[in-house]
Structure 1
């Protein structure tokens, strides 16, 4: 095995990041016999080949470097190695080089070839049939995780924002990433100014230096737009007398194959940022004003053809006439908002001057949306909505007026002013009810948004049934209208409503629906998903699980400060329940921080109650029932939530050792408790059973009611929160509870107060197999182990889970989330 000196030095003296994913692409069992690694300089091709050689069997590799020649290649092939590695050898299309490569392939040798451009013998049909694999520019660029790993290796601390910034400015180009990290060291070896100069020189000389003048001119014209498809590229190239002008799609294909462009979306392409920056600087020097002319023509074409969403990034990236830019932004409002595509829309709004904004209510509403971008500027939001409201006809239903009323609902809830939110809703509802069916059909998207905000109003008031009805209707309308953004947002809020209503199965379905929509459309990091995380945490807590819940709640909390109407009280309640189940002081502290008056949304009726209950739970978690009772003094529950408040008071009395007072309060609520959510009714019966056990009398009637409720809901929290009841059920001291439930409660409590059982990889595999109908003999055969070995493994699983048989193992593992629920 040979290593050219230059290759050894470049690989051994640069900060090395072993890129397992690329090594697997080149050497893995699914890799083709011929792999071509190609792209401009600085992508780490030689370093990758060095790692590939080390990964392959020693003695079976011959490597030819840039200083080699056809004769050296022939000698290497003649040595009959397992693999021939060719690193940027000139003349790959020449017969003198192709002949020995063909010979090696015919002998069944593995070929790994690195080149700046694709050889002509790498054709699409050979890639499609698996004869050749191609590792191109897009594969070789560093992703965020690799930038972070390399920073750790170079001992350069980076925040999440730093990683994004380096990825944006360097495009993940390995050589540029290394240079950027060197400039960020505490003792920088490369000052910022020198980094810019060297980057420009590297791109100009090493990356673009070998380009023919005609090709460079085409790329320069394409660089005028931040992203383009074939139609936009045709406009940008207009006037360039080149054959490709008539077939821009073929030109894009050729550039993509060469690594000059990378995907910007499913339908658009762009130049890597360092290349584009260099080409634009050259264009502005050689042809001042040419870039603006190109972009203006492209924008006019796109707007004329109804493609305003495609025109938006051109508006942001240029100095178009601001009135023209305002027209483009205004026309983009409907399609962009309906699809949740704010990435281009909001920056475009921010390019517009005040005089253009102030004259147009639609642009003012877009500026209001922009003000809600994290962190939200509620003062500017209110000012923009007020300006827009002053410009529209108040007596005629219009898309703009309906949006204003919706925004006013958001504004009212953000200030904790439920009355203002309801007044805005009533005003809008009056206009909607007076409109004709045809007028309402023309405003479908705006009506869905209005109903979404109306559903949020009902939830804030505590009217859960009506909130479910309104949000459910909005989801259905959004689905029929193809408004996925509205559908996802409504489903996320609806899922939390279902948890409060005690419909845990519905909440799980709605979480899945919202998550699927978010994943499919690239919205997983958007603000509305905080409700999804909150619902997931509450579902786990209802089922009695605490493992992993803190991470889920932290994910919800990470977005909290960025929300215009932060669900602080709802999140506080989740943290407080976690604190009770685990006896966790940290969780109690998190809950306490979210209950304060610094969150105006805590003043909304239902949130006010939830914050009060969370504060009481915090005191109970700290074993101070007297303080908990004080927190609840004078609390007023919204209509329909009296049972929740009474249950919390009873919990405090029981913790203080006063079961008689607790039972009296609960007995007085008997009639109202019948219409409470199923999970709350389970709480009431569990509390009365706990009271009976503490007093030494029979708890049987309440236990039977409790068992029926938890069987229907799947909730285990009501039992786990009450020590006497939990111990009586787990210890088999009560008639009625099945043995499987007793085992499940015992294991859940152990996991919540200790740690989750740890299974080996083989044990997890066997556990998953136990779910099905196969016998142990069938499972052993499928896993290629003996029946005796399998029995030993299953006994180990049973011991760790604290169960006696296969059925209990599956039930307990599902309760602990070691197996997926059905």
Structure 2
């Protein structure tokens, strides 16, 4: 399908809708040109020719004129150009691609919704480049993307993903890289195939004629030999030529001045300070020194740092003078990076101690104007940790420790906070940092210190953050009482938080409900847990709440499994993993419970290798929340896997591992007891097994029916049947429970000589097991069932009516039925997209259909799904 270009530039959407916002408009705006800019036709024609090749590379030293060349060309291009200026700080692939999408939107190019958007700055999921490349490949006309300052991209993953998109987008993408050095791309391939246009440092160097024109724009008229000497001295370096022009234009004898400069000045810093800074008025010098602590800044912030009211006119004048002040559009400026660095060093020398105060003023102004990220950075630079921690909590942003783009940056920023910062906000931030690393003991210690100092005068948002952290600590320790208290406090405090702040941070109530729901699940309050987790999972499609929703879906999948509904559990767990991929949630976000549920379902289906792979993935991930639910259920699932492989001793070892939690979980203890009894029974210790089973309660139903099976195998059929009769009827048992119960009653009927009843029960169990793809209950019954499975002698059967789909073909069809893409099915089954298509084509042939929807409908009619 072709993209449709939108008319006009649409306003920037709210951060929660974009998935990775808020975005800096200046990064996706084509830079403005200075009045003294010289258009060089020989280079713009090279850029025009570059539209015939997939990749254009503009590379040269700092100040060579790369950005202005590309900006002039982009501003005059006949077709829309998406522009992105890369950030100087750490930039993960998630942030990079989120800004690329925003640049496309800013250029009027709509992005198909199925492409998705990264939610985490550290990385984008492995399928995102494929989705973007596929969408670009289907365009009617190519889109041109300029990536300026690409040398600031240090993550090799970004380069690998960018090369993948460029290679697979075909004619739908024309990429222009503006960079100081060669990017990490296989340029030799593009050169060999004639698909690369290059403008290198030597090309960017000014010729004598171009230099003469440039000097003329600066008001300088030099003899030809003087111009040649200047070009030779600067080697045509654009910034050097401009520096010389700025310094010499007011001299009575510019030619002689340039000769003296050439002879006596070798350091750019000396030149900038002596010939640019010192030539300004004292007020302008003071302004430049003070704004040097900033990155991109509006004139109002410059006024706040200097106490002036005319910063905008001064900055505009400096820009017109090309005095290393760049206008970024949207009423925003920045200093030339080299100039700013030199000014900061000069500020420390001339005005020692002022730098910290300037950072402090900037932090306060930025927070008041809704720019919290920059405010925190300046607060930390000022070593004002009371302000920095208080701003994070007061703006209700503590949830960013656990979700979104900011988690790694916040952890790194507050890791610099000294031990001398002991106010309540600092202690709460330390608690958040510890709890984010699943350290409840350390987190609780800092929480107690903070709560001792909190008062009714403390802002409600700060106290709300404390309640959220207490709920998380209760979850990590398995303390339902503490969770209920924290939830009650949070409910009252949330009403005191300004509505705008609540709407800006929907992740806070979502995380709170998820933590409370998981704690209730641990405590055995399953109905209450289900209701709370369902409310979180059904929340709006926002990137900020995606981690909480993924966590809730995983725990709802566990509840489905405990009810004996493996297919429902699998569907929810897969929905959780799909949500994780869609929003590029990092490995350190969430508990990993969905992977453990998938492993448990795989054991029920006797897919033991697959179950072990899921468990290894859950154990090996750097999960942010290692709570008792996931740890305990993971241990029981590992024990089930070992029992299925005939290793009861290893299963017992897995069950003996301690599980965190200050209180016991009734359903988990029941499962552990049944599995321990099953392991003793497998080792021939019937007495030990039966002694343990006396402690198993009549619910949950899965535990009860498994306990009955162990009792029957141990030689106590009456007790086993009584346990079956006591199964709770409320809500009806799930398919896994019904299959096990039917098989156990069939065994009892067969032992009593009632072969007809036994056969009917077995047939019923087999039919239901087939629908759920359950194999483990049939394998665990023992050899008595074989005669009942053998068909009675009969004439040769007619050709089967039901197509014989392979296991993998049914798995692919199951993914299609859940509306998963080919890429998602392949990632789920660890197979390539081509293999997915091959299995689906085979299924079409066997089902005699030609479309996906018909295949799903036919498979459901035949009870294959």
Q: TM-score, normalised by structure 1?
A: 0.57
Contact 1:329 / 1:349 at 8 angstroms: preserved in 2? no
Q: Residues 719 and 465 of structure 1: is their aligned pair in 2 closer, same or farther, counting only changes over 3 Å?
A: farther
Please name the residue that 2:551 is paired with: 489
Which of 373, 376, 379 is the equivalent residue of 1:315? Answer: 379
SS in structure 1 at match of 2:564 = coil
Q: What count of residue pairs does the alignment treat as equivalent? A: 607
Distance 2:347 2:459 in 1: 49
2:841 matched to which residue of 1?
A: 769
Which position in structure 1 is the counterpart of 2:594?
532
* Aligned counterpart, 1:609: 670
C-alpha deviations, 1:126-165, integer Å up to 9, x for none?
A: 574649776766499564569999xxxxxxxxxxxxxxxx
Q: Give CA deviations for 1:55-99 in whole Å, capped at 9, x if unaligned.
A: xxxxxxxxxxxxxxxxxxxxxxxxxxxxxxxxxxxxx98667888
2:728 matches 1:670: no
Higher relative contact order (CA 8 A, sep 6+): 2
Structure-2 change in CA distance of 1:234 and 1:363 (3 Å): same
Contact 2:576 2:594 survives alignment (8 Å): yes
What is the CA–CA distance in structure 1 between the aligned matches of 2:537 and 2:808, rounded to whole Å? Answer: 39
Closer/same/farther in 2, CA of residues 330 and 769 from structure 1, 3 Å limit? same
Contact 1:617 1:628 in 2 (8 A): no
Q: Judge conservation of contact 2:673–2:696 (CA < 8 Å) in 1.
A: no
Closer, same or farther: CA 313–626 of 1 in aligned 2, 3 Å: farther
Q: Which of the numbers 511, 524, 527 marks the counterpart of 1:462? A: 524
How far has the Cα of 1:172 moved from its partner? 11
Structure 1 residues 729 and 95 mapped into 2: Cα distance closer, same or farther (>3 Å)? Answer: farther
Distance 1:598 1:298 in 2: 48
**Cα distance change, pair 686–127 in 1 and its aligned pair in 2 (3 A):** same
Query: 1:536-563 CA deviation, whole Å, 9 max, x = no partner?
Result: 3233334443343322211211247864
TM-score by length of 2: 0.54
Asked whether the 8 Å contact 2:717–2:748 carries over to 1, the reply is yes
Matches of 2:329 and 2:414, distance apart in 1 = 31
Q: Which residue does the alignment assign to 1:648?
A: 706
Change (3 A) 1:413 1:760: closer
Give the counterpart of 2:433 among 355, 370, 373.
370
Is the contact between residue 382 and residue 411 of structure 1 (CA under 8 Å) also seen in structure 2?
Answer: yes
My pick for the range that moved more, 208-217 or 763-772, is 208-217
**Relative to 1, partners in 2 of residues 1:246 and 1:139: Cα closer, same or farther, differing over 3 Å?**
closer
- 1:357 equivalent to 2:422? Answer yes
Measure, in 2, the Cα distance between the counterparts of 1:723 and 1:600. 37
CA distance in 2, matches of 1:451, 1:760: 38
The question of 1:123 aligning with 2:70 is answered no
TM-aligned CA distance change 1:686 to 1:772, over 3 Å:
same
Q: Which residue of 2 aligns with 1:624?
A: 683
**Alignment partner of 2:422: what SS?**
helix
Partners of 1:424 and 1:131 lie apart in 2 by 55
Matching of residues 392-431 of structure 1 within 5 Å: 392=454, 407-408=469-470, 410-412=472-474, 414-415=476-477, 421-425=479-483, 427=485
CA contact (8 A) 1:455 1:471 kept: yes
Distance in 2 (CA, whole Å) between partners of 1:275 and 1:289 is 20
State the shift of 1:370 in Å: 1.1
Q: Is contact 2:705–2:723 with CA below 8 Å preserved after alignment?
A: no
Shifted more, 643-652 versus 464-473: the winner is 643-652
Q: Is the 8 A contact 1:511 1:536 kept in 2?
A: yes
Structure 1 window deviating more from structure 2 (541-550 vs 720-729): it is 720-729
Distance 1:593 1:673 in 2: 29
Is the CA contact 1:365–1:384 (under 8 Å) kept in the aligned structure 2? yes
Question: For each residue in 1:255-312, what CA deviation from the matched residue of structure 2 results, as whole angstroms up to 9, or x when unmatched?
Answer: 9xxxx9xxxxxxxxxx9xx999999889867986675455334322211113324422
**1:511 alignment partner in structure 2:** 573
Q: How many Å separate the matches in 1 of 2:291 and 2:570?
A: 47
1:722 equivalenced with 2:777 (yes/no): no
SS in 2 for 1:537: helix
- Structure 2 equivalent of residue 386 of structure 1: 448
Contact 1:570–1:607, Cα closer than 8 Å, also in 2:
yes
How many angstroms apart in 2 are the aligned matches of 1:673 and 1:171? 70
Aligned partner (choices 284, 296, 301) of residue 365 of structure 2: 301
The aligned counterpart of 1:576 is 639
> Kindly tell me: are residues 282 and 355 of structure 1, through their superposed partners in 2, closer, same or farther at Cα, counting changes over 3 Å?
closer
Name the residue aligned to 1:342: 407
Q: Report what 1:248 is aligned to.
A: 328
Q: Distance in 1 between matches of 2:388 and 2:519?
A: 36
SS of 2:658's equivalent in the other structure is coil
Q: Deviations over 1:160-217 (max 9, x none)?
A: xxxxxxxxxx999769xxxxxxxxxxxxxxxxxxxxxxxxxxxxx9999979669998
Distance 1:771 1:522 in 2: 31
Aligned with residue 661 of structure 1, among 708, 716, 722 = 716
1:256-335 matches, within 5 Å, as 292=356, 295-316=359-380, 318-334=381-397
SS at match of 1:357: coil
CA RMSD of aligned residues (A): 6.1
- Are 1:686 and 2:755 an aligned pair? no
1:23 aligns with: none
Q: In structure 2, do the counterparts of structure 1 residues 769 and 556 end up closer, same or farther at CA, with 3 Å as the change threshold?
A: same
Q: What is the distance in 2 between the residues matched to 1:714 and 1:538?
A: 13
Q: 1:451 to 1:232 in 2, by over 3 A?
A: same
8 Å contact from structure 2 (residues 803, 847) kept in 1: no
The aligned counterpart of 1:785 is none
CA distance in structure 2 between the aligned counterparts of 1:428 and 1:745, rounded to whole angstroms: 51
Distance 1:764 1:588, change over 3 A: farther
How far apart are residue 744 of structure 1 and its match? Answer: 8.0
Give the Cα–Cα distance (whole angstroms) in 2 for the partners of residues 385 and 707 of structure 1: 54
Cα distance in 1 for residues equivalent to 2:705 and 2:470:
35
Contact 1:284 1:291 in 2 (8 A): yes
Give how far 1:530 is off: 0.8
Question: The residue matched to 2:685 in structure 1 has which SS?
Answer: helix
